[in-house]
Amino acid sequence: MRALLQSDRARRIRGLRAVVVGAGRSGLAAAGLLAELGAETSVLERSAAAAGVAAESRRYTVVCGEHRAEDFSGADLVVLSPGVPRSRMESMIPPQARVISELELASWFVSETVVAVTGTNGKTTTTTLISRILERNGREVFTGGNIGTPLCEYVLGDRQAEILVLEVSSFQLQNSPTFHPCVAVLLNFSANHLDYHDCMEEYLEAKLSMFAHMEPGDLAIAPASMREELEGRDFTRARREYFSASDRFSCPGLPGEHNLANMEAAFLVCRHFGLDQDQVQRGIDGFLPLPHRLEAVTEHAGIMFVDDSKSTTVDSTIAALKSQDRPVRLLAGGVFKGGDLGTVLPLIREKVRGIYLFGASRELFESAWKDCGLDIFWDATLEDAVHRAASEARAGECVLLSPATSSFDLFANYKERGQVFQKTVREWMEEPQ
């Protein structure tokens, strides 16, 4: 067992009353670690299906249904899963309880070098890229956090890595008051999650909180476009480096200016660990886009189909349009999380040949884009919108799914949305044209 699980901090958790809100993977990982440490642990889950999975464990109790104040009675420690707003819970949580994230809990029991990557867009791609470069240059790396394996699972496991490369979200950081990475990366910042955060300032403060406990020997990496604002905030004591897009690195699997910036950020991280430009380029070579992130699905009758279902923000849709060198048939729509749709208009006028909305937020898109000079179509389902866009597309064009929204109006998550897009494209290809 990891030595830190036998530390004084671990012993202080033994016997505490701990409540974990949410029975997703990170919530169950936190509950497992708390139970291992000897805390009296319960998991609260509104979904009966998820609660059923959680109840298979005999190491903690599971409470299913709407959360109630009595469920938190006597709690010393409350772990909120990502996506559970603290404001929704505060009236039920007793004042003596310490509220943290799964990331914060796990971070108490790691001694490895931690690289943390956050930002509105590009987190998963850049986190994965950093890990790939380091691994290809002989480093033992764990990749996880907000993607893949929660950090609590790593803590409970037998594997010992040299470097932990973690994607971290604002949801996690908002409840991680002592989290201290050795290298921290802020990729970018724009309107997002305003259905969760009270305002843009709260969202930014959550992102910047990971820099607060860094020391002068640590490295803080941020976009050059934010330098003036960040320096004005005196946001960290760490050494600071700023990046912007350049042509220093190339990779066909990472199209667009935004990915040039992501590669620059990855370079600064890897340079901190002693790698030079050539070593970084060798690590980048052959990198393929992750699923549903500007993923080229197929080309049929001269029409390219691109799945960018992970585009859940206005800025990510702008980046997707900039990356295309063909005229675009744009598929957009879903649960809007904030931002200015009007900022997309110049690119729509330059690159888009048709707009095909689906699902929720129709009125927001139509109002923002009514002066774009194009017909704007709407269908209740993604499948119908794909058929309409594909049927109107011409050879040499691109049908691009880049919704600028979350997927929860029609789908369980962005992955399901992308899978439905790809399945519908294949079905359309088999139909007589």
Is residue 324 within a helix (H) or strand (E), and if so which, with residue range? none
121 is in an annotated binding site: yes
Contacts of residue 257, Cβ cutoff 8 Å, sequence gap at least 6 = 245, 319, 322, 323
> Residue written as tokens 């901190």?
272
22 is in an annotated binding site: no
Tell me the pairing of strands 77-80 and 17-21.
parallel
CA angle 250, 256, 257 (to 5 degrees): 85
CA angle 327, 331, 334 (to 5 degrees): 155
120 is in an annotated binding site: yes
Spatial separation of the C-alpha atoms in residues 324 and 333, rounded to whole Å = 19
122 is in an annotated binding site: yes
**Could you tell me which of 379, 342, 335 has the C-alpha nearest to residue 360?**
335
192 is in an annotated binding site: no
HSE (side-chain half, CA atoms, 13 Å) at 99? 22
Structure-token pair, residue 58: 């005999």
Cα distances (Å, whole numbers) of residue 171 to 32, 165, 197: 21, 18, 9
Full DSSP string of 123-163: HHHHHHHHHHHHHHTT--EEEEESSSB-HHHHHHSS---SE
Spatial separation of the C-alpha atoms in residues 377 and 135, rounded to whole Å = 46
Spatial separation of the C-alpha atoms in residues 39 and 124, rounded to whole Å = 33
> Residue written as tokens 């900039």?
322
Structure-token pair, residue 275: 């790698």
CA angle 346, 347, 349 (to 5 degrees): 65
125 is in an annotated binding site: yes
Query: What type of residue sits at position 79?
Result: V
123 is in an annotated binding site: yes
Spatial separation of the C-alpha atoms in residues 249 and 259, rounded to whole Å = 10
Query: What type of residue sits at position 124?
Result: T
> Residue written as tokens 């007793």?
94
Label residue 254 left, alpha or beta by phi (over 0 means left) and psi (-120 to 50 means alpha). Answer: beta
Query: Which residues are documented as binding site?
Result: 119-125
Query: Which residues are documented as binding site for ATP?
Result: 119-125
